[in-house]
């Protein structure tokens, strides 16, 4: 047996836009054990719930993450609406679905670009981010913000999308889908990509489930769990099936995200076609008194907002479990057996969002 050495990976590393640290225990270049560390930028946003009124905390929830910002706000609002028994108008549910799926599109395209960059496929990185720009343009056109949208609120949404704009979005979806399929084809079919990803960072179906993994990390191992199946927002009306792959390796996790691009485009298309008329919000009266575990499906997996009110305008507790936190144990199990040079790609394959983790 070779002498074991510990190589630090992160918190600053070219493939990591945010800080996470792994102590890699190596025998030669083979990873035999991993110890993760987080907590470099913990912001204590959960605690702010005691300083902001429950209607204002939406802004804080949205700022937990700059990528899945809208879905954080949605999950928080749905939790408050459940506690206060508020029925959100149908049009608001559909608008929430459109913006949620736009979030998923731009998150997955961002990740595909970073993943391509991590593999050394620079023009694929640029192409992915070029496509992502058009999603951000839609956000800017429809909400006024490219990163933080500020449209979700307790009781509905703040902004409507006019019919003219919806028609324009619908018209551009066909060409956007064609471009996504071209891009996805490279990730799914290119021999270099396959050679780099297949058989790498494997986690079995049983392990992924037992470790509490979430999102594409779980579905890439063959477990069909996607919270959109519960039909929140307008998913119950639109029809939805989770995207699942079975190999459990980096390629499978990548394939799930690529195929989810197509599924998101389809959901947006149908949400536009079936958009109901009517109001976009209801007036909120009273204060939340009760508790609820609100759950929604972010691009990285299931997010949980535990909300608890005591009848005052401040919540007693907001506890947010983000998907990356749930995927860290799975990452620790994926890495042993890999070569040191493969670690960056495996780490990226769970799409780590440290901003979410360090909420």
Partner 1 sequence: MTIVSEEQTTTSVALENLLKEVGGLQADGYRLVQIGCTDVGGAYEINYSFDKGYQFRNLRLTVGPETEVPSISGLYWGAFVYENELHDLFGISVTGINIDFKGTFIKTATKYPFSVTRREGDRCRNA
| List of residues contacting partner 1 (CB under 8 A) | 35, 37-40, 42, 44, 46-47, 50-51, 209-213, 227, 229-231, 236, 239-241, 292-293, 295, 302, 304, 306, 308, 312-314, 316-317, 319, 321, 325-326, 328-330, 333
- CA atoms within 13 Å, Cβ hemisphere of 337: 10
Phi and psi for 261 in degrees, rounded to 5? -60, -50
Question: Shortest approach of partner 1 to residue 163 CB, angstroms?
Answer: 26
Q: What is the CA radius of gyration of the chain?
A: 20
- Would you say 171 or 319 has its CB closer to partner 1? 319
Question: Shortest approach of partner 1 to residue 177 CB, angstroms?
Answer: 21
Q: What is the C-alpha separation between 284 and 288, in angstroms, rounded?
A: 10
Q: What is the C-alpha separation between 193 and 206, in angstroms, rounded?
A: 26
Distance between terminal CA atoms of the chain?
A: 41
Q: Is the dihedral of CA 138, 143, 147, 152 positive or negative?
A: negative
- Please enumerate in sequence order all residues whose Cβ is within 8 A of that of 164, keeping only pairs 6 or more positions apart, or say none: none
Q: Is the dihedral of CA 57, 149, 325, 13 positive or negative?
A: negative
- Would you say 161 or 325 has its CB closer to partner 1? 325
* The residue count for the chain: 359
Q: Is the dihedral of CA 337, 109, 125, 183 positive or negative?
A: positive
Question: Shortest approach of partner 1 to residue 35 CB, angstroms?
Answer: 7
Question: Shortest approach of partner 1 to residue 22 CB, angstroms?
Answer: 12
Burial of 52 (0-12, 13-18, 19+ CB in 10 A): middle
Question: Shortest approach of partner 1 to residue 130 CB, angstroms?
Answer: 33
Strand partners, 320: 305
Q: What is the C-alpha separation between 334 and 37, in angstroms, rounded?
A: 16
Q: What is the C-alpha separation between 118 and 124, in angstroms, rounded?
A: 11
Question: Shortest approach of partner 1 to residue 133 CB, angstroms?
Answer: 32
| Closest listed residue to residue 98, CA positions, set 219, 237, 217, 230 | 237
Question: Shortest approach of partner 1 to residue 49 CB, angstroms?
Answer: 10
Q: What is the C-alpha separation between 222 and 276, in angstroms, rounded?
A: 35
Q: What is the C-alpha separation between 77 and 89, in angstroms, rounded?
A: 13
- Would you say 43 or 171 has its CB closer to partner 1? 43
Question: Shortest approach of partner 1 to residue 321 CB, angstroms?
Answer: 4
Q: What is the C-alpha separation between 261 and 102, in angstroms, rounded?
A: 10
- Would you say 254 or 304 has its CB closer to partner 1? 304
Q: What is the C-alpha separation between 104 and 139, in angstroms, rounded?
A: 12
Question: Shortest approach of partner 1 to residue 100 CB, angstroms?
Answer: 17
Question: Shortest approach of partner 1 to residue 124 CB, angstroms?
Answer: 32
């Amino acid at each position: 047996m070779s002498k074991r050495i510990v190589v630090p990976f992160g918190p600053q590393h070219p493939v990591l836009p945010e800080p996470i640290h792994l102590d890699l225990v190596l025998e030669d270049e083979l990873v035999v054990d991993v110890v993760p560390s987080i907590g470099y930028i913990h912001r204590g946003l959960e605690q702010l719930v005691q300083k902001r009124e429950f209607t204002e905390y939406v802004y804080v929830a949205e700022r937990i993450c700059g990528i899945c910002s809208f879905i954080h706000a949605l999950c928080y609002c749905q939790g408050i609406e459940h506690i206060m028994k508020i029925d959100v108008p149908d049009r608001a549910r559909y608008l929430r679905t459109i913006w949620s799926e736009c979030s998923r599109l731009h998150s997955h395209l961002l990740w595909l670009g970073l993943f391509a960059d991590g593999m050394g496929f620079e023009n694929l990185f640029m192409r992915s981010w070029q496509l992502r720009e058009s999603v951000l343009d839609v956000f800017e056109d429809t909400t006024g913000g490219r990163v933080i949208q500020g449209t979700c609120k307790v009781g509905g949404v703040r902004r409507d999308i006019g019919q003219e704009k919806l028609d324009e979005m619908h018209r551009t979806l066909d060409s956007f889908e064609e471009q996504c399929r071209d891009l996805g084809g490279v990730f799914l079919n290119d021999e270099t990509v396959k050679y780099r990803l297949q058989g790498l960072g494997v986690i079995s179906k049983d392990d992924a489930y037992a470790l509490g993994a979430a999102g594409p990390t779980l579905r890439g191992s063959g477990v069909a769990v996607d919270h959109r199946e519960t039909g929140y927002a307008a998913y119950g009306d639109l029809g939805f099936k989770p995207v699942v792959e079975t190999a459990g390796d980096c390629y499978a996790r990548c394939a799930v995200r690529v195929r989810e691009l197509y599924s998101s485009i389809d959901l947006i298309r149908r949400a536009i076609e079936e958009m109901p008329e009517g109001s976009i919000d209801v007036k909120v009266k009273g204060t939340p008194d009760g508790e609820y575990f609100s759950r929604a499906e972010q691009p990285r997996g299931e997010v949980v907002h535990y909300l608890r009110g005591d009848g005052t305008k401040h919540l007693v507790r907001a506890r947010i479990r983000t998907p990356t936190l749930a995927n860290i144990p799975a990452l620790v199990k994926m890495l042993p057996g890999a070569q040191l040079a493969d670690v960056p790609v495996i780490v990226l394959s769970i799409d780590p969002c440290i901003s979410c983790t360090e909420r």
